[in-house]
């Protein structure tokens, strides 16, 4: 009896664990892996393979990188393969209805949130930025909407006080791989049933912008800390001191009461603590405009800040 077949579509690191889990399960045929075209990277602007392409080629899979999967040529190829499933993870292109109709069973997507919350491009970052205590991964049947398809399986994970978008990304990527290997067999044997999303409960996770990295000191210490962790590693959080940009890498919200205006340095001996709209934020690690990331105590030795200094643009 032949194994169920999959066309896998994915591009960045987040998608690699799903492909690896499918490969290692040995339960499926994967006649084609599809990834975005290679892009120039680094100072030399050399073309580098996408993480999914690199993994797929190392395992001997056929890889295609169409500029558009909506092209007649690619659609013809997908129809010739006639897979049971598409598995789509952070692919980076929108699939039209002609494509969605091709799999014999259905096209399945892995999304880094507990749908219907955080539909969109930045679910991992936004969950951290919003101070959520729990997030997770959802597998769903793809439709023409933005993450609006029927849900299949979910798995949850807590967001810890030191989690960043980077640490959560890696954890959810692994969970997504585990979940897809449970989802596809469940669809085939009927134990997994598609469940419509509650559109009234939906929220949207818009793509991040560089401008969001500037710290708003009028927010509470806890919210600033959440936003910073959600923007790590990109776009990164920053503020200004005497017109010079300072990148803030790690903070600790304190419950210390203060009457100082938001953005005011209140302690600057061995600790660097700044008043916020509610509470005080201790800056643990930071980086000057032309310097290296370092503990606040080391930074202050070369860049002293008197209490009363105002941070911000």
What is the CB neighbour count within 10 angstroms for residue 220? 16
254 annotated to bind ligand: no
As a whole number of angstroms, the distance between CA 276 and CA 212 comes to 17
- 122 CB-near residues (< 8 Å, 6+ apart): 205, 206, 207, 208
Handedness of CA 94, 97, 98, 101 (dihedral sign): positive
Report residue 254 as tokens. Answer: 């304190």
* Angle between helix 13-25 and 51-58 (nearest 10): 20
As a whole number of angstroms, the distance between CA 3 and CA 85 comes to 12
115 annotated to bind ligand: yes
Distance of CA 259 to the CA centre of its chain: 37
Report residue 233 as tokens. Answer: 């590693």
Bond prior to 307 in cis (omega within 30° of 0): no
Alpha helices per DSSP H over 151-220: 165-189
DSSP state of 116: T
As a whole number of angstroms, the distance between CA 25 and CA 19 comes to 10
228 annotated to bind ligand: no
35 annotated to bind ligand: no
Count of alpha carbons within 13 Å of 303, Cβ hemisphere only? 22
| SS3 assignment, position 3 | coil
Output phi, psi for 212, to 5 deg: -70, -15
- 57 CB-near residues (< 8 Å, 6+ apart): 49, 63
Annotated binding site for (6S)-5,6,7,8-tetrahydrofolate: 113-116
Annotated binding site: 113-116
């Amino acid at each position: 009896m032949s194994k169920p077949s999959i066309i896998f579509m994915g591009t960045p690191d987040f998608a690699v664990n799903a492909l690896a889990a499918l490969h290692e399960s040995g339960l499926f045929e994967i006649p084609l892996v599809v990834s975005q075209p290679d892009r120039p990277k680094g100072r030399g602007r050399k073309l580098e393979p996408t993480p999914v392409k690199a993994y797929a080629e190392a395992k001997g899979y056929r890889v295609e990188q169409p500029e558009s999967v909506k092209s007649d040529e690619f659609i013809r190829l997908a129809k010739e393969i006639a897979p049971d499933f598409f598995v789509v993870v952070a692919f980076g292109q929108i699939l039209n209805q002609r494509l969605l109709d091709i799999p014999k069973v259905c096209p399945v997507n892995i999304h880094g949130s507990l749908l219907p919350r955080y539909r969109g491009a930045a679910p991992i970052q936004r969950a951290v930025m919003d101070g959520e205590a729990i997030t997770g991964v959802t597998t769903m049947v793809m439709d023409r909407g933005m993450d609006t398809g029927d849900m299949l399986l979910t798995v949850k994970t807590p967001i810890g006080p030191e989690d960043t978008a980077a640490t959560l990304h890696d954890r959810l990527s692994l969970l997504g791989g585990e979940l897809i290997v449970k989802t596809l067999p469940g669809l085939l044997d009927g134990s997994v049933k598609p469940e419509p999303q509650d559109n009234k409960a939906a929220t949207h996770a818009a793509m991040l912008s560089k401008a969001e990295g500037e710290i708003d000191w009028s927010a509470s210490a806890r919210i600033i800390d959440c936003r910073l962790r959600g923007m790590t590693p990109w776009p990164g959080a920053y503020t200004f001191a005497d017109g010079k940009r300072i990148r803030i890498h790690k903070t600790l919200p304190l419950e210390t009461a203060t009457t100082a205006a938001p953005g005011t340095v209140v302690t600057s001996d061995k600790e660097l603590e700044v008043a916020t709209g509610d509470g005080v934020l201790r800056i643990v690690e930071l980086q000057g405009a032309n310097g290296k990331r370092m503990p606040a105590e080391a930074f202050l030795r070369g860049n002293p800040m008197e209490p009363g200094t105002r941070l911000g643009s």
